[in-house]
Amino acid sequence: MPRPERNNLAIYDDVADQWWSDDIRWIRTLKNMVPGRLSWFDRFIDWQGKDVLDLGCAGGFMAEAIHDRGAKVAGIDPAVDAIAAARAHAEATSREITYDVGLGESLPYPDDAFDAVVCVDVLEHVSDLTQVISEVARVLRPGGIFLFDTINRNPIARFVTITMAEDILRILPKGTHDPAMFVKPAELRRELENAGLTSGKTVGLGPRGINRRGDFLFGRLPGTMVIFMGTACKPA
């Protein structure tokens, strides 16, 4: 059998019409990761009234959660159909969120446009990490914060995300990730600092329980060998 395409971003458009249905296990997994991420991000920002960009928003799970915390949210993603699903759900639920189709390497926003940029499950997919981080720094206001997570590059992370999550447990579609594109924390720290951002601490993110449907629930972990979350600030 042919090997699956790696870093296959078409999966987000392929299921866009079911994004908010809870019918697809891997989509539910992405949704279940939002509370664990926010429980840590909340330590670093009061969202109320802040201008926030959700970079790589897909169908809008994180964007809506941040909106519900009182932020003014814009979301951007290259997946056209996923953005359409995000717009439709926001309209149906009376949420005022701006969604745009675009790439992290060339953000269609002016300098100093946002108080915060949130970027989860994205940096391990981008074609030019240096350019994405440069764009994040450009659109952040002085004193603004970058909140992110991504996947560490090492044999353990490859085993967990590819062998286990994609091949055995099937909680992600085959071909979702290319392990060669995973990012070591030290590498990302250098990119952030080269872009003029000040790196903060990192923590792990991973399964912390299982719900009644047999889906994983996620939260903060001490180890950063697989998924790690971090922050960086733009000097005031």
Beta 227-233 vs 140-151: how paired, if at all?
Answer: antiparallel
Q: Give kind and range of the element (H or E) at residue 186.
A: helix 185-194
Over residues 102-130, mean pLDDT:
98
Judge whether 78 lies within some domain: yes
Predicted local confidence at residue 2, as pLDDT: 40
* C-alpha triplet 204, 209, 214: angle, nearest 5°: 125
Q: Does the pLDDT of residue 132 top 50, yes or no? A: yes
Over residues 8-18, mean pLDDT:
91
Over residues 175-196, mean pLDDT:
97
| Minimum mean pLDDT range among 36-45, 206-215, 225-234 | 206-215
Judge whether 69 lies within some domain: yes
CATH number of the domain enclosing 62: 3.40.50.150
Query: What residue type is assigned to position 119 of the chain?
Result: C
Over residues 47-67, mean pLDDT:
98
Share of the chain above pLDDT 70, in %: 98
Confidence of residue 76 (pLDDT cuts 50, 70, 90): very high
Judge whether 177 lies within some domain: no
Q: Does the pLDDT of residue 1 top 60, yes or no? A: no
* C-alpha triplet 69, 231, 121: angle, nearest 5°: 75
Q: Where are the beta strands (DSSP E) in the chain?
A: 51-55, 72-77, 98-101, 114-120, 140-151, 198-210, 216-221, 227-233
The tokens for 205 are 């993110």
Domain range for 74: 10-151+185-233
Q: Are 2 and 187 in contact (CB under 8 A)?
A: no
Q: How far apart are CA 149 and CA 84, in angstroms?
A: 24
Q: How far apart are CA 65 and CA 77, in angstroms?
A: 17
Predicted local confidence at residue 40, as pLDDT: 97
Judge whether 164 lies within some domain: no
Over residues 148-174, mean pLDDT:
95
Domain total for the chain? 1
Q: How far apart are CA 79 and CA 66, in angstroms?
A: 20
Q: Which residue has the tokens 């719900």?
A: 211
Judge whether 47 lies within some domain: yes
Judge whether 179 lies within some domain: no
